[in-house]
């Protein structure tokens, strides 16, 4: 749930009539504008939109809020609800009911994944996880803050699962906490077009076949094998042109049976992912029937990607005395090597080694370096 706050004391046109005294005007006109963002499975997004957009139009009209669910291919979509907090939460109540009906969940059961800026996540977790434990106990639901950001973004997922009223009251508490802490650093909202399925266990995303069924076990099948390498032609500068073939993600399983807030064994330590899955450089592994807690110790698999670039672009990536490439290595955590030009050609090969998330971040930073240099008109 990303929140952009706009608090002011100016009276809006629809805040009342001019005959009210000044005290009442101040009370009624002070408002806090928020942008609440949520990660949805595409099938749930379709239910919120409704046939020919009728359901989302009804929500906009009923609650006088801005509601957007941009169209995307793939398993994930972003729901944005903008306006004053209470109407936004009221609108979200209806959306939760629609999602529960679509997922065929038990009555009043819901699952919601809010998006917050990574710099605000610590306030929700608290020292030693105390704050998130308090939220679980107070509202009687499951709360999980995923450790990794969504691909190529600064967003982190907060998973809330339980009764709809509990989810809404928990979100109100979370909002109250983070409105005191504006986001720090760059702000890159998650774009589902950057979806990478083998990273979902780290950031809390949806698989292609994810139904988010409440109170049931779901087996994650192994990810597909790596695709063929792209023709790394920089005449068409694009992230896709930086990617060679990679291995598919392994399968995994986690227990979705409802566990109350006092059952501490359900919740992994803050440094560990919620969903488990093996990873392979040659292809997807088979889903394994094992409890969540047994799979925490598996680290992400290291992979290698290569891209060929024209020699004249190398300087933009390396930077003065190697400062730019050193910065990219530090920020991404990946190992990056730029070879000398190939014999008889003007091409140089960049080799990137790291986890899938590190590689994706390195690719993004390399692309940004070239674009900012002005050497490539992309």
pLDDT in tens, 51-90: 889 999 999 999 999 999 998 888 999 999 998 888 999 9
- pLDDT value for 25: 37
pLDDT at 339: 85
Return the residue matching tokens 């979370």: 174
Position 156 scores a pLDDT of: 96
Report the pLDDT value the prediction gives residue 327, as an integer from 0 to 100. 87
Residue 219: per-residue pLDDT: 32
Q: What is the dihedral of CA 167, 169, 170, 173, to 10 degrees?
A: 160
What local confidence, expressed as pLDDT, does residue 271 receive?
Answer: 35
- Per-domain residue ranges of the chain: 34-203, 303-373
Angle of helix 311-318 relative to helix 323-332, nearest 10 degrees, comes to 70
How far apart are alpha carbons 329 and 331 in whole angstroms? 6
Q: What's the pLDDT score for residue 311?
A: 82
**Could you list the mean pLDDT of each consecutive 10-residue stretch along the chain, which spans 378 residues?**
46 40 37 84 92 92 92 91 90 89 72 94 92 95 94 95 92 87 91 89 84 36 37 37 40 32 30 36 40 44 83 85 86 87 79 88 86 66
pLDDT, position 376 = 57
d(CA 277, CA 203): 13
155 forms beta bridges with: 117
pLDDT at 95: 92
pLDDT of residue 30: 44
pLDDT of residue 174: 93
What confidence score (pLDDT) does residue 140 get?
A: 94
The DSSP symbol for 298 reads P
What is the distance between the alpha carbons of residues 72 and 193, in angstroms, rounded to a whole number? 7
CA pair distance 150, 253, nearest whole angstrom: 20
CATH fold for domain 303-373: Ribosomal Protein S8; Chain: A, domain 1 (3.30.1370)
| Domain 34-203 is found in CATH 3.30.310.210 | yes
Using a 10 angstrom Cβ sphere, with 0-12 exposed, 13-18 middle and 19 or more buried, the burial of residue 305 is buried
Burial class of residue 363 in the structure, from the number of CB atoms within 10 Å of its CB (0-12 exposed, 13-18 middle, 19+ buried): buried
Q: Is-contact 349 308, C-beta < 8 A?
A: yes
- Give residue 213's pLDDT: 33
């Amino acid at each position: 749930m990303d929140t952009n706050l706009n608090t002011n004391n100016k009276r809006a046109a629809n805040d009342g009539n001019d005959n009210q005294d000044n005290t009442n005007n101040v009370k009624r006109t002070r408002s806090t504008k928020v942008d609440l963002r949520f990660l949805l499975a595409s099938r749930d997004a379709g239910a919120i939109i409704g046939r020919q957009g009728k359901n989302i139009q009804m929500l906009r009209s009923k609650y006088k809020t801005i509601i957007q669910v941009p169209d995307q291919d793939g398993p994930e979509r972003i729901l944005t609800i903008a306006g004053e907090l209470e109407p936004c939460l009221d609108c979200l109540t209806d959306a939760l009911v629609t999602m529960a009906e679509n997922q065929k969940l038990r009555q009043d059961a819901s699952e919601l994944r809010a998006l917050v800026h990574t710099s605000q996540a610590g306030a929700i977790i608290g020292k030693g996880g105390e704050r998130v434990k308090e939220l679980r106990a107070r509202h009687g639901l499951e709360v999980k803050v995923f450790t990794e950001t969504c691909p190529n973004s600064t967003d982190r997922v907060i998973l809330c699962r339980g009764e709809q009223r509990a989810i809404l009251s928990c979100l109100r508490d979370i909002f109250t906490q983070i409105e005191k802490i504006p986001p720090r650093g760059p702000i890159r909202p998650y774009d589902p077009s950057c979806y990478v399925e083998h990273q979902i266990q780290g950031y809390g995303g949806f698989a292609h076949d994810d139904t988010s069924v409440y109170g049931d076990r779901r087996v994650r099948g192994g990810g597909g094998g790596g695709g063929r390498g792209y023709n790394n032609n920089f005449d068409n500068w694009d992230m896709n042109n930086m990617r060679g073939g990679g291995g598919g993600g392994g399968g995994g399983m986690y227990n979705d049976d409802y566990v109350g807030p006092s059952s501490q064994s359900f919740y992994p330590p803050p440094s560990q992912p919620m969903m488990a899955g093996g990873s392979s450089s040659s292809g997807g592994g088979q889903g394994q029937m094992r409890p969540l807690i047994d799979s925490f110790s598996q680290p992400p698999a290291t992979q290698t990607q290569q891209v060929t670039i024209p020699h004249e672009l190398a300087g933009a990536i390396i930077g003065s005395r190697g400062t730019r490439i050193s910065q990219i290595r530090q920020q991404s955590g990946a190992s990056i090597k730029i070879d000398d030009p190939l014999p008889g050609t003007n091409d140089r090969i960049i080799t990137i080694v790291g986890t899938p998330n590190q590689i994706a971040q390195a690719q993004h930073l390399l692309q940004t370096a070239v674009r900012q240099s002005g050497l490539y008109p992309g």
